Amino acid sequence: MQLFLDTADVEEVRTGVVDWGVVTGVTTNPTLIARAGQDHETQVKKICAIVGNVSAEVVSTKKDDIITEGRRIAAWHENVIVKVPMTPDGLGAGKVLAGEGVRINVTLCFSVNQALLAAAIGAYIVSPFIGRLDDINEPGIELIKSVVAAYRQQSIKTKVLSASLRNPIHVQDSALAGADIGTMPFKVLESMMKHPLTDAGLEKFLADYRKTQEPKPVQSDKGAPAR
């Protein structure tokens, strides 16, 4: 499963991609862009300069407007994937854009049928949301399992991107369910690498190493048995 960051923060992207070498893509949405405090185009271009596979979401809601906005966003950078909402207009516009060679991510997916519709327009990615289903007392991970199973059964190539991941358990469960990609906030990525036994083990190894570096006490010959 590829690990994506769900962020519009350039420093978080740089850390995950360049410093740690574990992140291969980014998803953004209007909420995250607003949080970054920059205009959409500037922020997406900065992120595209660091990593491929950057989902940038349209804010238009009518088919023709989504097509126009999607073309504009796709022209920003070759790494851009245009994110459209799971609505009739979003699907219709996504189909046109996909036909023009634009990679499409259909977002806000909450059912297997919606995932089938995303595949039907030739979407590159579908984004089922786990956390928001958990929020309403429906187990989100079951949706990932079902979408993966349906896509396998139907030999569908659209990638399943497990989204709205709120904790490290969501990440490992998505991988076990067969998701192609998991996208997560930076703090969830950080929490994936934490384990108390790793910290304790490293501390012990370093303490033992330091002991080997300490000067050895000088041995006196006095009293040593004759050879």
Q: Does 7 bind ligand G3P (CB under 6 A)?
A: no
Round to whole Å and give the CA distance between 60 and 174: 30
Structure tokens at 171: 């990440």
The residues near 216 (Cβ < 8 Å, ≥ 6 apart) are: none
Structure tokens at 136: 């309403």
Stretch that binds ligand G3P, among 72-80, 87-95, 124-132, 172-180 (CB under 6 A): 124-132
Q: Candidates 27, 43, 53, 79: give the one binding ligand G3P (CB under 6 A).
A: 27
Q: Does 123 bind ligand G3P (CB under 6 A)?
A: no
Catalytic-residue membership of 187: no
Number of residues that bind ligand G3P (CB under 6 A): 10
Mutual orientation of helices 88-99 and 63-74 as an angle, nearest 10°? 40
Residue 28 or residue 79: which is nearer to ligand G3P going by CB? 28
Stretch that binds ligand G3P, among 15-23, 88-96, 129-137, 167-175 (CB under 6 A): 129-137
Residue 79 or residue 127: which is nearer to ligand G3P going by CB? 127
Active-site option among 63, 83, 145, 204: 83
Q: Does 29 bind ligand G3P (CB under 6 A)?
A: yes
Pair 1, 175: CB distance under 8 Å: yes
- Would you call 104 helix, strand, or coil by DSSP? strand
Residue 38 or residue 68: which is nearer to ligand G3P going by CB? 38
Q: Does 30 bind ligand G3P (CB under 6 A)?
A: no
- Number of residues written out for the chain: 227
Pair 32, 4: CB distance under 8 Å: no
Q: Dihedral (C-alpha) 17, 18, 19, 20: value to the nearest 10 degrees? A: 40
Binding string, 157-196, against ligand G3P, x = CB under 6 A? ------xx-x----------------x-------------
Round to whole Å and give the CA distance between 142 and 165: 14
Q: Which residues contribute to the site for ligand G3P (CB under 6 A)?
A: 6, 27, 29, 129, 131-132, 163-164, 166, 183
Catalytically active residues, by annotation: 83
